[in-house]
Structure formats: C-alpha cells, structure tokens
Amino acid sequence: MSMEKLKPWFPWITLAVLVLLVGAVNPAFFKLSGMVALVADIVPLFIMALGMTFAIYIGGIDLSMQQVANLVTVVATVYLAQFGPFVALLCVAAGFAIGAVSGWITTRQFVPSFVATLAMGFIALSGARFLSGERALSMNAEARDASFGWMFGNTAGVPHELIIAGVLLAFAWFLQTRTTFGRALKAVGAGELAAVASGLKVDRIKILAFALSGSFAAIAGLMFSVKLSGGDANLANGFLILAIVAVLVGGTPLTGGVGGVINTLVGTLIVVVIRTAMVYLEVDATMQQMIFGIILIVAIAMTIDRSKMRIVK
Amino acid sequence: MATLQSTTTVTTRARPRAAISRDALLKWAPLLVLLVLCAIFTLMEPRFLSIRNFARILIAASPALMVAVGVTFIIIMGSIDLSMEGTVSVCAVAFAFCFLWLGGTLASWAWLAIPFAMLVGGLLGFVNGLIHVRLKIPSFMASLAMGFVGTGLAMVMTGGDRIRIEDELFRSLLTERILGFPLMVYVAGLFLLLGWFIQTRTTLGRNFYAVGGGEDLAVASGLNVARVRVLGYTLAGVFFAVGALLAVGRIGIAETATGNNFMFISITAVVVGGTALWGGIGGVWNTLVGVLIVFVIDNGMVVIGLPGYVQDGVLGILVILAVILSTDRKSISFVK
C-alpha cells in the first residue's frame, strides 16, 4: 500500500529529482537570485495554468485562454489612458464573460468544451484583431507606470510578481478546498451524473468554472501587456499548450476530479525547470524542443495516477 | 442509438411519417451547412461560384484534408491525436532531404522519397500509439508530447533552414491541371477513397467503430484493442505524411513550420463535419464536408471582401452552430 500512498507525491518527487539533477551538473542553478528571477519570469504562465486547472478539474478543457489573453493585452493597451488602473476590472470582466459564454455553450448547448472553447478563442481573436487594427500597439509609458508600475517592483528582494502569483494561488486554493463551490467542482469532475443526481446545480458550477479560467487568462494577459508595455493579437501565443502541459504534468488528469491548484504549481515548476535546465546544461538550441518533448513523455508517464482511470483513451 | 431513435419515431403516431426523420437530418446537416454557405457566398459575389475559385479552395484544403482524414480514424476510436504538426513537419523535411539526396527529380530514383516519407509518418504514428497504449498515457498528452518531439526533430534535421523542392515534375502536383483542378486535388481524392475503403471494407476500419462505440464491449468480444489503437495511430501517421507531401507540393518548401496550424484546423474540420469527439460516429465523408466548410468560409470571406478579422469570429460561431446542429440532444445527458 505504500505505493498507493506515495502516488500523490510523484509530481513533487519528479520536481525534486529534476532540480537535484540539474544542480548536480551545474551548481550555478542553485543561486537564489537566479532562481527567484527564473520563477518570477513565469508568473503569467502560472496564472494561465491556474485558470486551466479549473477547466480540467471538472473534466473539460479551455482552449480559448491564449486568445482571451491576447484580447486582453489589446483591451488593456487601448483603454489604459481612459480608465487608468480600473482597466484591470474591464479586462477581468471581459475574460469572465468569454469564459461564461464558453461554459454556457458547453453545458446548455451540449458542445464539447474542446470545441466550444476553441471556437470562442477564434471569436476572441477576431475581437483582438479588430480592436488593435491588426497592429502591435504600445502603452503610454507614463500611464503604465502610474497604474501598474507596482506590478514589477521589489519588496525586500521579493518581486511583486511573485506576490501576485502567491495571492492568486491562495485564492484558487481557498476556492478549491474551503468552499462548497470547490467541493462541487470535485464532485462534477469525479462523476457528473452522480453530481446531478445529488441535486447539485451542475450547469451553474461548470459555467462558473469556465468563467474563472477566463478571468485567470485575462489576468495573465494583463500581466503580459504591462510587462511588454503593449498589446497585440499574437502576444500570448505559445502559452496555451504550455499551460495545459503544466496542469497535466502536475498530476491533474484530463478526466477530472483529481489533482488541483497545488499540483499545477508543481507542474509549472517542472515545465520551467526542464526548459531552464536545457539552457544551463548548454543543450543545442535546435535540440531543445525535441528533448523537451521526450522529457515530457517521461515526466507524464511517471507522474499521472492511473488508478482513477478505467479506460485510457 | 440509431435503432432506439427509429423506434421512437415509429411509435409516436401523432406526427405523420412523411416528415424528415431527425436521423436523416442529423446525417445531412453538415452537408446542408456547406451548401447554404456556398449559396450565401454566391448570392453576395457570383464570382465565388467559378471553377477557378473552387480550384483555389481545393488546393488550400487538400493537405488539411489528408491530415483530417488521418485524425478522423483516431477520433472515431474516441481518442485524439495532436501530434500532426510535428509529424507533418518531420515527414516534409525527411521527404525533402531524401528527394534531394536521391537526385532531386521524380524521373530518377528520387521517387522513392515519397514512400519513404509515408514510412516515416507511419513510424512516428506507431511510436505515438505505442507510447499511448504501452505507457498507458491518455492520447491527448501522449500525442501532444509526440508533437513536440516531431517539431523538435524537424528543427534538428533542418537546423532552422528551409529546403526548396524545385523539381518541375513534383511541382506538377500544383501546376498541372486536369479539368481546371491541379493534380494534388486528385491525389487527395484518391487517398480519401482509400480512407473510405479502409473505414468501410476492412476489419481494421470496423474495429475503430467497435472501440469507439464501447471499449468494454469490444474487449469483451475478444478484440485486441491495444493492437487496433496502435494500428490506428500508424495509419493516421501515414495520412499525415501524405498531407505533408501535398503541403510541400503546394508551396515548394519543406521546413519546420510546414506543420503549423494543422492541429486546430484539422480537428475543427473533423468536428464540424459531424464526427463526435466521444467516438463511434462519423467517418471520412463527414471529414471531407468539414474540411470544405472550413475552407469555403476562409475563401468566401475574402471573396465577398470582408476584413480579415471577421473571418476568425465567423468561423468560431459557425463551428459552434455546426456542432449544435449536428448534436442529438436526446441521446446525450451531458458533455465534457
């Protein structure tokens, strides 16, 4: 039975082994300042993965996140001068609305979330391209510093990005473990029919889960846009797949009901350690993508808990 | 499922039998969407309905059609394959290297590069299937990771360079036209027929439906599901390779980016065509209709002169509508 007890810790063990391996080959990896900078750098990805966790936790998926983030970078850039810091509310509201519509299409119209969110992503992309006039926009530097300059400051050596990530993680963790909504999410993910039979308002819960993932995508998009001081309909491209990978490697399987936001933290770290390790170990740039894929297969094979999956599809 | 519905239509005497059954409507809904789209575009811009324009649509659609047919088999099994971008890139680059190494023209031994590329595609699919089945990793993750490996492998092989294929005989895929349509359209048509043959006339094809319709039942009736799955991924890999060959034939360049965008387009097309993601329903004809819907929208929007950004939005809305129209709400209690 010790194997059974050990299983939830597999992602942690994978992470520890990876860190030790890289550190053993190149001790420079262990330098604290380098590590903090490294982790601070991936905060937008982590936030996106956090949101993705909600969608995957209920057994769905949200493929619109990248496009929502793209749209938000444009929205933030265009309306920053007009609304100041309150543009953040507008951004999150946009993400929430798009997510809620995806959720509504999935639950009420019986369109699988894979397709519904993919399609909503196209619609968001359309909005982003329209609003940006198909150009890369840049923010007014003064307005940016006045409204969001605090995002990239330091307090006692801790980058504020990390604090934001910590707050969001705490919020997501609280939702997941300490609220009835969180328990309902688990019920829906573990067995939707049973959840319906026990009187849960499953439709509402699922719509809210997608709205949450949309909101997190919006926050990630806002951070991108402030960080890069601009907005563009392609700014966040490439992050969707990484966010999904981070969630899956962390041990939240696509079947739902297992895992959670802490797993996503570990998963994101694993992804980042693998990526960075290749730089530290001086892997040839053209080889990196391939090696990333291979390590990914190994990491997933080691990490996922198959006891809850009857048929592997 | 189908039998259940037909009995209900028979027992409900209130409605006359002459009304079109829901089954038939569902079956033909994607085609109906395609025809309505064509009609709308033609009404708004008569030039849409010309051989020239249809040739343009089919040229753009041919590589994607091959990739989509490949993934159709996987989706019928209720699994998914997201490795196509990597596989297409590797096959394109492997073909280009082999082709140039063997002489660089189809008139020499270089024609061997074509079966070689298909072999490479099959091999990648085989590995993909083995990882999925033997390591018990869900296909979504296994194939996604294999896609990374593929894209990476193509990057290693090319070192980021583009390889030009300038052989006129090979490029005749695009340049040589019969009845107004270039050769690659006919090649795609032939492979579509092959896909249809595999789907309906071979044991393997029937087994895909058995696995997708109910894996428990398939196992209980003694089917070697693991073998069917691995063969399915191998077959899909071969079709991805054909897609890669057509893609190279179309633009005359093989590079790491050759595979870009195939993933979302092909899966969107399969789903829009009416093949359900949970498996057991649909087939290659659905996929043909789905691919045509996607590319007709793409082309029609340009022809009627709508700005580029509208296309994505309209495609998104149509994808949702197409799936809503082609879903029988009575037969499913929930979707994931």
Tens of pLDDT, residues B146-164: 998 999 999 999 988 999 9
Range of the structural domain that residue A244 is part of:
6-20+29-305
What per-residue confidence (pLDDT) applies to A140?
81
Quick one: pLDDT at residue B15? 46
Is residue A241 scored above 50 in pLDDT? yes
> B268 contacts in A (CB within 8 Å)?
115, 118-119
**Closest residue in chain A to residue B215, using alpha carbons only:** A311
C-alpha B266/C-alpha B144 separation (Å) is 15
Residue B146 with chain A: CB contacts under 8 Å: 293, 297
Q: How do residues A90-120 score in pLDDT, each as one tens digit? A: 999 999 999 999 999 998 888 888 889 989 9
Best mutation target, B81, B130, B309, to test chain A (most A CBs within 10 A): B309
Which residue on chain B is closest to A291 by alpha carbon?
A: B149
Average pLDDT over all residues of chain B: 87
For B155, which residue in chain A has the nearest alpha carbon?
A286
- pLDDT band for B14, please (50, 70, 90 cuts): very low
Contacts of B15 (CB under 8 A, 6+ apart): none
Q: How far is B170 from chain A (nearest CA, A)?
A: 29
Which of B141, B153, B313 minimises the CB distance to A248?
Answer: B141
Does the structure show a pLDDT above 90 at B334? no
Taking an 8 Å cut-off on Cβ atoms, the answer to whether B144 and A245 are in contact is yes
Q: Which pLDDT value is given to residue A305?
A: 65
The HSE-up count of residue A152 (CA atoms within 13 Å, CB side) is: 17
Which residues in B lie closer than 8 A to residue A130 (C-beta atoms)?
A: 307, 309-310
Instruction: Return the higher-pLDDT residue of A265 and A1.
Output: A265
Cross-chain Cβ contact A111/B135 below 8 Å: no
Tell me, yes or no, whether A85 lies in a domain. Answer: yes
Provide the chain A residues 128-147 that lie in CB contact (below 8 A) with chain B. 129-130, 134
Of B327 and B254, the structure prediction assigns the larger pLDDT to B254
Q: ipTM value, please give it.
A: 0.79
Looking at CA atoms only, how far is residue A291 from chain B in angstroms? Answer: 7
| Closest to A170 measured CA to CA, from A262, A84, A289 | A262
Report if residue A312 sits inside a domain. no
pLDDT confidence band for B332 (50 / 70 / 90): low
Under 8 Å between Cβ of B138 and B127 = no
pLDDT-derived band of residue B272, with 50, 70 and 90 as boundaries? confident
CA distance A164 to chain B (A): 30
Identify the pLDDT of residue A160.
86
Residues 198-217 of A with CB under 8 A from B: 202
Choose the weakest-confidence range: A178-182, A193-197, A219-223, B52-56: A193-197
Q: Cα angle at A67 between A66 and A70, to 5 degrees? A: 90
The CATH number assigned to the domain holding A105 equals: 1.10.3470
Residue A82 belongs to a domain: yes
List chain B residues with CB under 8 Å of A238: none
Which residues are within 8 A (CB) of A6 and not within 5 positions of it... i.e. 6 or more apart? Answer: none
Q: Do residue A112 and residue B159 have CB atoms under 8 angstroms apart?
A: no
A 276-295 residues inside an 8 A Cβ radius of B: 286-294
CA distance B75 to chain A (A): 10
Cβ separation B334–A196 shorter than 8 A:
yes
Return the higher-pLDDT residue of B264 and A211. A211
Domain boundaries defined on chain B: 61-325
pLDDT band at B19 (very low <50, low <70, confident <90, very high): low
B317 and A290: CB-CB below 8 Å?
no
Note whether B335 contacts A254, CB cutoff 8 Å.
no
B212, closest residue in chain A (CA to CA): A313
Overall number of domains in chain A: 1
Mean of per-residue pLDDT scores for chain A: 86
Interface of B with A in 199-238 (CB under 8 A): 215-216
B156 chain-A contacts, CB cut-off 8 A: 286-287, 290
**pLDDT higher than 90, residue B43:** yes
A8: tokens are: 């939830």
Q: Do B78 and A313 touch (CB under 8 A)?
A: yes
Residue A281 has pLDDT above 90, yes or no: no
**How many CA within 13 A on the CB side of residue B119?**
8
Contact B254, B11 (CB under 8 A): no
Inter-chain touch A110–B149, beta carbons under 8 Å: no
Which residues 1-30 on chain B approach chain A with CB closer than 8 angstroms?
none
Query: What pLDDT is attached to residue B292?
Result: 94
Can you give the pLDDT at residue A205?
Answer: 93
Identity of the residue in B148, B215, B278 whose CB atom sits nearest the CB atom of A289: B148
Is A309 an 8 Å CB contact of chain B? Answer: yes
The CATH classification number of B61-325 equals 1.10.3470
Range ranked top by mean pLDDT from A53-57, A198-202, A295-299, B237-241: B237-241
**What is the phi/psi pair of residue B178, to 5°?**
-120, 125
Q: Quick one: pLDDT at residue B335?
A: 62
Best of A10, A71, A105, A111 to mutate (most B CBs within 10 Å, chain B): A111
- Which residue of A105, A106, A286 is in closest CB contact with B160? A286
Could you say which of B138, B277, B320 has the minimum Cβ distance to residue A114? B277
pLDDT of B88 strictly over 80: yes
Mean pLDDT of B32-53: 91
**How many Cβ atoms are within 10 Å of A3's Cβ, its own excluded?**
7
* Distant-in-sequence, close-in-space partners of B14: CB < 8 Å, separation ≥ 6: none
Domain-located, residue A311: no
Q: Does B335 touch chain A (CB under 8 A)?
A: yes
Q: Check residue A230 and give its pLDDT.
A: 85
Q: Write the single-letter amino acid at B105.
A: T
Residue B5 has pLDDT above 80, yes or no: no
Q: pLDDT: is B123 or A81 the higher one?
A: B123
Whether A66 is in a domain gets the answer yes
Nearest Cα neighbor of B279 from B326, B230, B215 is B215
- Residue bearing the bigger pLDDT, A296 or B165: B165
The lowest-confidence range among A170-184, B11-25, B190-204 is B11-25
Residue in B153, B277, B312 nearest the CB of A126: B312
* Mean pLDDT confidence for A194-219: 92
Across the interface, of A115, A286, A311, the residue whose CB is closest to B271 is A115
Tell me, what's the pLDDT at B7? 38
Weakest-pLDDT range from A35-49, A157-171, A239-253, B8-22 = B8-22
- pLDDT on residue B330: 62
Share above pLDDT 90 across residues of chain B, in percent, rounded to a whole number: 54
Q: Which of A307-311, B135-139, B170-174 has the lowest mean pLDDT?
A: A307-311
Chain B contact for A257 (CB, 8 A cutoff):
no
The predicted-structure confidence for A56-75, as pLDDT tens digits, reads as follows: 999 888 999 999 999 999 99
Query: Can you tell me the mean pLDDT for B130-145?
Result: 89
B149 contact A CB<8A: yes
Per residue in A148-167, pLDDT tens? 878 777 777 778 888 899 99
Q: Measuring CA to CA, which residue among B173, B165, B195, B163 is closest to residue B69?
A: B195
Q: Which range (A208-212, B8-12, B73-77, B123-127) has the least confidence?
A: B8-12
* Residue pLDDT, tens place only, B295-324: 998 898 888 888 878 888 888 887 788 778
A window 228-247, beta carbon within 8 A of B: 241, 244-245
A1-10, A155-164, A292-301: lowest mean pLDDT where? A1-10
Shortest Cα distance, chain B CAs vs residue A132, angstroms: 10
Q: Are A121 and A67 in contact (CB under 8 A)?
A: yes
Say if residue B171's pLDDT is above 60.
yes
Provide the chain B residues 96-135 that lie in CB contact (below 8 A) with chain A.
131-133, 135
Per-residue pLDDT at B290: 92
Which residues touch B320 (CB under 8 Å, ≥6 apart)? Answer: A105, A109, A111, A115, A116, A119, A120
Nearest CA in chain A to B158: A286
Q: Which range among A52-66, A240-254, B49-63 shows the weakest confidence by mean pLDDT?
A: A240-254
Give the CB-side neighbour count of residue A277, counting CA atoms within 13 A: 20
